[in-house]
Amino acid sequence: MTSIQTRVIESNISPIDIEQINKIIFEVPDEPNPELDASHWGWTIDPIGFREELNQLYNQYKKPLFVVENGIGLQEGKTTEETINDYPRIEYHKKYIRNMMDAINLDGVDMLGYLIWSPIDILSSHKEMKKRYGFIYISPMKNKKMKRIPKKSFFWYQKLIKENGATVYEK
């Protein structure tokens, strides 16, 4: 299991031994990478880095890979619409899946599958329901019920599956 998130660090330490390398990796604060977008909560969005990591893992272990969690938490406000337009989530998955498919088709990486972080909005460990992950919006509880509303990303992902990934190359 590995967690993929690219980072930039700044350090005035010249690594000469493993202790100094560990200090750079684990003790120097992360710096935002000015070349990459980030989520509202500062998580780097790096689909090209994702492809590179898939290649590195596959080339190192020569075993099929399976992405078991990938997604983006977005701050989605209240809506009066029946369908929530979560275009940034669609673009996020489109870029990541396109890079995964390029790793498979162009680079020869053997992939078993790709799972999204969560199909429905779930409670974030520290942002409650302000941070939403899923393709299905879960409304606040009203009369002991929580309404489920498919977002635009739900229908996009449904089409992606039906077309075996072809929609990631559409503009």
Q: pTM here? A: 0.79
Inside any domain, residue 148: yes
39-59 pLDDT per residue, tens: 887 778 999 999 999 999 999
| Domain carrying residue 52 | 46-169
Inside any domain, residue 35: no
The rounded radius of gyration (Å) of the Cα atoms in the chain is: 19
93-139 pLDDT per residue, tens: 999 999 999 999 999 999 999 998 888 887 665 556 677 888 998 87
Would you say the C-alpha torsion 111, 134, 149, 138 has a positive or negative sign? Answer: positive
Inside any domain, residue 13: no
Q: How many CA atoms lie within 13 A of 82 on its CB side?
A: 0
Phi and psi of 11, rounded to 5°?
-150, 145
Bridge-based pairing of strands 131-132 and 148-150 is unpaired
Inside any domain, residue 34: no
List the one residue out of 88, 98, 2, 115 whose CA is nearest residue 48. 98
